[in-house]
Amino acid sequence: MTKQAKQFGSKCQLSEKFINQVSKSGIVESILSWMKFKAQAQLNKNLDDANDAGTRNSHACTLILTEGDSAKSLAVAGLGVIGRDRYGVFPLRGKLLNVREATHKQIMDNAEINNVIKIIGLHFKENYDDPTKLSQLRYGKLMIMTDQDQDGSHIKGLLINFIHHFWPSLLRHNFVEEFITPIVKVTKGKEEKSFYSMPEFEEWKRETENWHTYKVKYYKGLGTSTSKEAKEYFSDMQRHRIPFHYSGAEDDTSINLAFSKKNRGKERVAHQSHGR
């Protein structure tokens, strides 16, 4: 059908009586229930929930949000060595919505935002400085697992921005963490060394005269790591698990400036005024 409504020759006018009858018939509720069921089914399909999530041990559970399905597969492989009781995994589809720049409708209609809220058990306008409220969450930690590149950093920033915008109290409880993986790995015989930043790798090269005798592996993303390596990462969880520590008002300002065009504009005006 390609015609515009004005070309039909007649209009379909629904009477108030008809609309009331449809409302009372339960059709609307049935459609809404079906839509919720479909959304929940899709969520359940993608979520590998921690066994203890939503129980009295929820505070000890960590939800790992991964950058896509390949990263999820890596996380699931890694969890094979430490178990699934305290760790859940959910893959994100692309970059999260910048909630600081979005409308209320955009936020409410965003599937990824709604999924994360449901999985963790978050409630808007809740103050999680209250220990009782904090203990009611399905997960006690949120761990971000992305590629160690610019896109991965942006995803981490958007997630921190999301939590900071609606539940700043969670950041005060060090709720958010990241899972880091090597950017470069060098091997020579049984000797093996991993590097998590290029400056770290370059420094090692400067200090190691025979560095060229080592086999060097560059990781382009999480998909470059093998299942065997994933198990190695998760076996040494403390080495790869990095908490984001909240530093107070300074962090608030930095997050606001990074994700709010309006605040960046105010900052520029303030600097210009100060410079006069």
Cβ atoms of residues 66 and 78 within 8 Å: no
* Structural tokens at position 14: 């629904």
- Strands 87-92 and 241-243 turn out to be unpaired
* Structural tokens at position 12: 């379909």
Neighbours of 203 (CB within 10 A): 12
Three-state secondary-structure class, residue 197: coil
Residue labelled with tokens 């990263």: 71
Q: Which residues are catalytic?
A: 67, 147, 149, 151
- Cα(64)–Cα(33) distance, rounded to whole angstroms? 29
Q: 3-state SS string over 44-108?
A: HHHCECCCCCCCCCHHHCEEEEEECHHHHHHHHHHHCCCCCCCEEEEEECCCCCCCCCCCHHHHH
One-letter identity of residue 128: Y
- Strands 184-188 and 141-145 turn out to be unpaired
Q: Say how many Å lie between the first and final Cα of the chain, rounded.
A: 62
* Structural tokens at position 6: 């004005």
Cβ atoms of residues 224 and 216 within 8 Å: no
